[in-house]
Structure 1
Amino acid sequence: MFELAWGEDDSPLYLTDDAGPVRLALTQRRFAPDSGPVHTIALVEVLAVGYGRSPNSMRASRTVIGDRLRYVGHETASVGEVRTLLVRQVDERSGLSAVTSVTHTVGQRAYRFATTLTNGGEERLHIQQVTSAAVTGLTGFLGERSELDLWRASNEWCGESRWFATGLGGAAGLADIDARAHGHFTRGALSSVGRSTWSCDGALPVAVLENRTSGRAVAWQIENNGPWRWGLETLFEDGDALGLALLGPTDLDHSWLIDLRPGEAFTTVPASVVLSDSGLEGAIGELTRHRRSSHLGVEADAYRPLVFNDYMNALMGDPTTEKLIPLIDAAAEVGAGYFCIDAGWYDDGGDWWPSVGAWEPSTVRFGELGLVGVLDRIRAKGMSPGLWVEPEVVGVRSPVAHQLPEEAFMHRGGARIVEHDRYFLDFRSQAARDHLDGVFERLIGEYGATYFKWDYNVTPGTGPDTEASSPGAGLLDHTRALLAWVEELRARHPDIILEACSSGAQRMDPATLAHFDLQSTSDQQESLLYPPIAAAAPMAMPPEFAGNWAYPQPEWTLEQVAFTLVTGLSGRLYLSGHLDRLDQEQLSLVREATAVYPEVMAHHARALPRWPIGLPGWDDGQVAVAGVDAAGAVVFVWNRDEAAAELELAFPDLVGQDVDVRCLFPTSLPPWQTRWRPEHGKMTVDLAGAGASARILRLTRR
């Protein structure tokens, strides 16, 4: 019998086969002799046409091939602090082999999984879904199912990162049907699905399972810039009541089916799991460490310079020389390091949306200076120039729509896929990649752009069916080719900075975030609605990656200006708005924010996120997020309730410690009165008369 404990000493993984397929568990436990594979979930579950499941359900578990896989060997390797485990299994009847890779960095309680299938048989296999990994032993690690809350997020345009909890013991949870009395577990599951190339449209590929009493937690994320699925399933054994299946695209959800011929192989998308003894916040802290170590080794953005972008509540896609010059001067005056010209810089007709694709500057917007002259003005003011691009699409009115060969575009049923006046480039196509190679060589080499806001405002649905066994398979190959192309671009031009944007944050998955330097967290233009989005962003990304917009306006009060600047500084301040029209008092507040920006960013980069009043609700009167480091904490607090009297914030990391509390920003406006209680690690803030306002408070250990 195969048995192995592997990984971090205080939280290893346990693998065993018990005369069946290999199972992966979070706790060490012997199953009853009569359990057998029928009562659990295998590490690798493979659904294939002609094999199916037994018994039938729409869950990931109990696949016939998954039940027939048998352990044939394993090996380990180490490179520096990164350790790898390979577990090999084979189904002798079909000839299919499965090799599951598990990687782990010493000192982290995080594990990344991927599985490679190889058809070693004589007949082709039509694979409908395969787990990157499936995990058991959740209740052994976490505790009773009735004590567990599942945290997940709704995500939509301008309403991103809205987290909510579901009790597993409640009506919305997993019913206990008395599995022993029926001879097998339930057929349902709690699941979440991401669709198409907007990987975060509707839901985030991140979730946390937390014991609300003991504080133990398990978090997971699926690392794909396209479709994904995870499912939380009930199991038969009382001591192993839950299984977790982590998958990329599936036939049922995404029209994904691959034709695996003899000798061919397929590797799943990666998925990661972390363990914590410190609840939801501890689990997200472990994910934050894991996400930081997963980012590409690029240095251009190491100091995270301040970026000004002309779009949000400013030019809104209508840049001209006359409008840009005052903004360029104002951005330089407040200390911006980069100035990004957003959408419309290429458009001659006043309707930039359907004309994207050639990425040549407008001949009418920039007068005698031309775009190059405007970019020179940016450099002359001591800033680096940036440009908005949406490189994955071509507008129906763009000349490129007729210049590129048909194979450069996505097709379905022989017709080009079109959404909202845009065609989609197919990155499987060499012609598409060559086109964009030329575009970026020109934008970087001729125009000198070193910052790119990479947007993506439409999505193609199921995907292209040309040269693919299914639309979903074509889409997965496309998304993988896209990231490979981004890596090649960065290798050729290591000095560029890439911002990920996708109608705000419809593609803030871990795979995208690992390849880009910052993520636009929303397109939300209402400053009072942005705080819940900004405060929850560290659930999906390290706080220093969260590009939170701040867009001060000349008609605003000083408190309103400070409010939006606190929102920006709660992540990576992404500055916009009509700076050129602000009065001196308003500009003074902006300068104060940009002056404190380096200190805040340095803190973000080393801190772990905390939510001292809990994860924000969309309509909450008060919203708060903090970062905790060795020195103490920095907390960002927004008050949206005019009638609020006071607010209590909890800092478990600081219980029993004396701290100094000071306002980090804004220091020129009336201070909030605070009271610290070290015995409880709690701070009370007096909000009486504060109105709609926001502050950044620094808590420093004495």
Structure 2
Amino acid sequence: MTTSVLLALAMPSLACAKVSASADGRQLRLDGGGVTYAMGVDEQGYLQPLYWGPALGADAPLVARHPAELSGFDPAGSVTPQEYAGQGEGLVSEPGLKVAFADGNRDLVLKYRSHSIAGETLTVELSDIRRPLTVTLRYTIDPATGIIARSATVHNGDRRPVRVDQIAAATYTLPAGGDYRLHYLTGRHGAEWSQQEAPVTPALTLLESRRGSTGHGNQPWFALEKQGQSSQTDGPVWFGALAWSGSFRLSVGLDNLGRPRIGGGYNPYDFSWTLKAGESLETPVFYAGFTDHGMGDASRRFHTFQRAHIIPGGDAARLRPVLYNSWEATAFNVTESGQMALAEKAAKIGIERFVVDDGWFGARDDDKAGLGDWSVNRRKFPNGLGPLIGKVKALGMDFGLWVEPEMVNVKSDLYRAHPDWVMNFPDRPRTEGRNQLVLNLARKDVRDHILDVLDRLVSENDIAFLKWDYNRNWTEPGWPGVAIEDQQRLQVQYIRNLYFILSELRRRHPGLEIEGCSGGGGRIDLGMMALTDESWISDNTDPYDRLTIQDGFTQAYAPSAMMAWVTDSPNWANGRETSLDFRFLSAMQGSLGIGANLDHWTEADFASAQRWIAAYKTVRRTVQRGDLYRLISPAPDAATSATFYVSQDRKQAVLFAMLHSSQYRDNGLAIHPQGLAPDTIYRLSVLGGAPLPDGLPAEAQGSFWMAQGLRFKLKGDYKGVAIVFEAKPDHAPSG
């Protein structure tokens, strides 16, 4: 998937956005969603960032002025704020672009050459002051949210090659200040989406992956707020995320005049790209936004944008079906009869999609063999997948399969035939992770083979869904067979070819849906989200741990893409024991799935699950497509957490209140909903049919609930309740 495709995702809603230039062409502006982003050309020809914040009037006096030398230590080139700087002329902050010319020159000074406005896209061309090297910057802005989409393309107009050592999709500059705080997300396998914050200082903060994929460790997402001014509900927040699924780097720090600068793009670690004569290199898209209504509104704006313009299908996409996955029930012991028996039990509780996980293909009896051989194991399925798929569909469900196409076991027909297809350095070890190696998707023959086998698999079977897994990171990322100066293109070309496979597979099979997975949340980003319908955010399915994981995920990404499963107790991750009710209430705060071993369930479990799944379907649209308000985030020192989902038309809302553990006289604080229509009367009920907690009125205006709050007690350990707000028909909000 190219950057132009990603930029185009933002285009349909841009009809009301305004992209403009002053009469003399010295000021350029993008306006939309109550946000203005402006830049200007100074008298020396530098393109400077001028403003990014609440919408300004058309006559706002924004002027770019070139600064004088500050001192011998700070020449003008080092203190000039640049929209996209080359590494040259004394620049000491992070550049947008760093190159080495064929004659050894590494000085690059980029100045404004021209701009154009075509429809709703602003294009600005910069060029070096001496060499025929140009950078094209592209911008769009979404009218509903003010989210900006930016990318850059560098072009070598010389007959001699130019080596690109570092390139950003965009750099953003904010006004000087020492009160900025950075919010970011870190983690590891099973403990993804941990929220961190730190002051923004001259010491550069790097958020990066060197793994070949996004990785569990750092997310390519940031949010900056003003200390003492910003909160969940108020104050300025600048936020954004890079749409790239490979090794990335985001940098955040104050420049030498105290201005925060945020840059993001390909990670320069183990990367270089030699531009031949006439060749160009395009970056991913770096999306970013602003709000003056706090971190909660920043999340909701980004969620709205993602639902409309990133997640496939946009606002018209189908709601995520309730699925069952067979992994915890059978692991590799997959058989036709066993899966049919599970399918019957899944259909009984209202499941809509049945997914067979690992073990259905090749010589796959454990994780040591079979990866790469995507043909049905005839010992396990003597007549192929047809009988099982027929059974699943007859039970009213559609059918899905687990695949891990980018990997190969040494014990496989594919590896025996093509040992050169894996990433490797000659005469170096081939380090295995989870007993597997990584195929080199940067190779066209590997890319085409994977596409061909998956296309055949979906064409020959009635498959509605693929769970696309990726269970290790890169080692020995060598690409023998191409010129030495091109071997480090692997970091970029691999991901480009992955995007090609996914997009082409979807084009050939328009009804096919895909879930992105990498040992849980190891490869979730806006690049993958643009080509997958949902995301598996963690292998940790413990319902209490999940509350923290889900709280972190939704800081950056839309709940509509967030898969969450009900699995067995005690949980494999930590041995914690929880009730089935608590597990359902935790999982239904996203897109609901079941991963428990149904062969171990009692009749009471089946009855409870059937009740909860039916209840979830009554609020599914609100949870998946509504506005999320994180009322009380889960924390080690807090007994209770609460999330609140409000439908787009504000006719329905659902409050999930979750208790870790209680002590005598706990739960004294009221939970205050947000986002309701103030004058609308809402009637309350408990999801699942239980009576309302004592003391809660059955109905009241939205303004009452938001001001007075809900005060009720949860007692015990790992308890929860979901309270539904339904607008009375004769008092429903309009529009």
Q: Same fold (TM over 0.5)?
A: yes
Which runs of structure 2 are paired with 1:241-256 in the superposition (5 Å)?
A: 241-250=259-268, 254-256=269-271
After TM superposition, the structure 1 = structure 2 runs for residues 323-334 of structure 1, keeping only pairs within 5 Å, are: 323-334=338-349
Determine which of 320, 323, 327 is the counterpart of 2:335.
320
Which secondary structure does the structure 2 equivalent of 1:4 belong to?
strand
**C-alpha deviation, 1:318, in angstroms:** 2.8
Mapped partners of 1:417, 1:298: distance in 2: 40
Correspondences of 1:35-184 after superposition (within 5 Å): 36-47=76-87, 54=90, 59-60=94-95, 68-78=109-119, 83-138=120-175, 144-146=177-179, 148-166=180-198, 168=199, 173-174=200-201
Structure 1 residue 32: deviation in Å? 6.7
Give the drift of 1:693: 1.2
Per-residue deviation, 1:428: 2.9
Whether the 8 Å CA contact 1:4–1:15 is kept in 2: the answer is yes
- CA deviation after TM superposition for structure 1 residue 325, in Å: 2.9
- Give SS of 2:318's match: coil
Which is further off, 517-526 or 346-355?
A: 346-355
Match for residue 36 of structure 2 among 12, 18, 22? 12
Cα 1:259/1:349, change in 2 over 3 Å: closer
Amino acid at match of 1:665: L
Asked if structure 1 preserves the Cα contact closer than 8 Å seen for 2:128 and 2:134, the reply is yes
Report the AA paired with residue 527 of structure 2. Answer: A
Matches within 5 A, 1:38-437: 38-47=78-87, 54=90, 59-60=94-95, 68-78=109-119, 83-138=120-175, 144-146=177-179, 148-166=180-198, 168=199, 173-174=200-201, 186=202, 188-211=203-226, 212-214=228-230, 215-237=235-257, 241-250=259-268, 254-295=269-310, 297-298=312-313, 302-311=318-327, 313-346=328-361, 348=363, 350-366=365-381, 371-404=385-418, 406=420, 408-413=421-426, 417-420=430-433, 421-437=435-451
Structure 1 residue 666 and structure 2 residue 699: aligned?
Answer: no
- Give 3-state SS (helix, strand or coil) of 1:589's partner: helix
2:477 to 463, 485, 498: 463
Counterpart secondary structure, 1:356: coil
2:547 corresponds to 1:547: no
| Counterpart Cα distance in 1 of 2:376 and 2:692 | 47
Maintained 8 Å contact 1:199/1:224? yes
Pairwise CA distance, 1:378 = 1.6
2:721 paired residue number: 695
Q: Residue 626 of structure 1 corresponds to which residue in structure 2?
A: 644
**1:374 alignment partner AA:** L
**Conserved? CA contact 1:220–1:273, under 8 Å:** yes
Change (3 A) 1:682 1:256: farther
Provide the identity percentage.
21
- Alpha carbons of structure 1 residues 490 and 9: separation in structure 2 relative to 1, 3 Å: closer
Is structure 2 residue 671 aligned with structure 1 residue 649? yes
Q: Distance in 1 between matches of 2:498 and 2:723?
A: 41
TM-superposed CA distance for 1:445, in Å, is: 2.7
Task: For residue 655 of structure 1, report the CA deviation from its aligned partner.
Answer: 9.1
Paired letter, 1:158: G
Deviation at 1:671, TM superposition (A): 4.5
How far off its partner does 1:337 sit?
1.6
Secondary structure class of the residue paired with 1:99: strand
Report if the CA contact (8 A) 1:46-1:129 is conserved. Answer: no
After alignment, is 100-109 or 370-379 more displaced?
370-379
- Measured after TM superposition, the shift of residue 298 of structure 1 is 4.3
Partner of 1:178: none
TM normalised by structure 2 equals: 0.83
Equivalenced residues, count: 662
Q: How far apart are 1:595 and its partner, in Å?
A: 1.2
Q: Map 1:463-482 onto structure 2 (within 5 A).
A: 463-466=477-480, 467=482, 469=485, 472-482=488-498
Deviations 1:336-377 (A, max 9, x none): 1210010112264632343211022234335x6664433332
Alpha-carbon distance, 1:491 to partner: 0.6
In structure 2, distance between residues paired with 1:512 and 1:61? 24
> Which residue identity lines up with residue 508 of structure 1 in the other structure?
I
Letter in 2 for 1:538: T
Confirm whether residue 586 of structure 1 aligns to residue 605 of structure 2: yes
1:55 offset after TM fit, Å? 5.3
Consecutive unaligned residues of structure 2, counting only runs of 5 or more, are 1-24, 53-61, 70-75, 100-105
2:96/2:170 contact within 8 Å kept = no
The 1:680/1:384 distance shift into structure 2, 3 A limit, reads closer
- The alpha carbon displacement at 1:94 in A equals 2.4
Which residue in the other structure is 2:712 paired with? 686
Alignment match, 1:489: 505
> 2: CA distance between counterparts of 1:651 and 1:40?
46
Shift of 1:149: 2.5
Aligned amino acid, residue 352 of structure 2? G
What one-letter code is carried by the residue in structure 1 that aligns with 2:471?
N
Letter in 1 for 2:653: A
2:68 matched residue in structure 1: 34
Greater alpha carbon shift after TM alignment, 432-441 vs 347-356:
347-356
**TM superposition shift of 1:672:** 7.3
Deviates most, 435-444 or 151-160 = 435-444
One-letter code aligned to 1:584: E
Distance change (3 Å), C-alpha of 1:349 and 1:450: closer
Would the aligned equivalents of 2:332 and 2:365 in 1 still touch at CA under 8 Å?
A: no
- Residues 225/232 of structure 1: CA separation in 2 closer, same or farther (3 Å cut): same
Residues 520 and 699 of structure 1: CA distance in aligned 2, closer, same or farther (over 3 Å): same
Query: Cα distance, 1:164 vs. partner?
Result: 2.3
What residue is the counterpart of 2:522 in the other structure?
506
Equivalent residues in 2 for 1:557-576 (5 A)?
560-576=579-595
The verdict on how the C-alpha distance between 1:377 and 1:653 changes in structure 2, with shifts beyond 3 A counting, is closer
Deviation at 1:599, TM superposition (A): 3.0
What per-residue deviation string (whole Å, max 9, x for no partner) do you get for residues 453-508 of structure 1? 11100121473344363654212111011101111111101111111111001001
Alignment CA distance shift 1:293-1:200 (3 Å): farther
Distance 1:599 1:15, change over 3 A: same
DSSP 3-state at the match of 1:473 = helix
Native 8 Å contact 1:569 1:600 kept in 2: no
Q: Is the 8 A contact 2:33 2:143 kept in 1?
A: no
Q: In terms of mean alpha carbon deviation, does 601-610 or 65-74 score higher? A: 65-74
CA contact (8 A) 2:132 2:156 kept: yes
TM-score by length of 1: 0.86
Q: Is the CA contact (8 Å cut-off) linking 1:307 and 1:574 kept in structure 2? A: yes
CA RMSD of aligned residues (A): 3.1
SS for the counterpart of 2:193 is strand
Q: Is 1:438 equivalent to 2:457 in the alignment? A: no
Paired residues of 2:362 and 2:373 also in contact (CA < 8 A): no
**Distance (whole Å) between structure 1 residues aligned to residue 196 and residue 45 of structure 2:** 37
Q: Does the Cα contact within 8 Å between 2:85 and 2:109 map onto a contact in 1?
A: no
Q: Is the 8 A contact 1:409 1:432 kept in 2?
A: no
* Alignment deviations for residues 13-51 of structure 1 (CA, whole Å, 9 cap, x no partner): 11113224212343446557426442144222345xxx6
Task: Give the AA of the match of 1:693.
Answer: K
The equivalent of 1:523 in structure 2 is: 539
Maintained 8 Å contact 1:90/1:96: yes
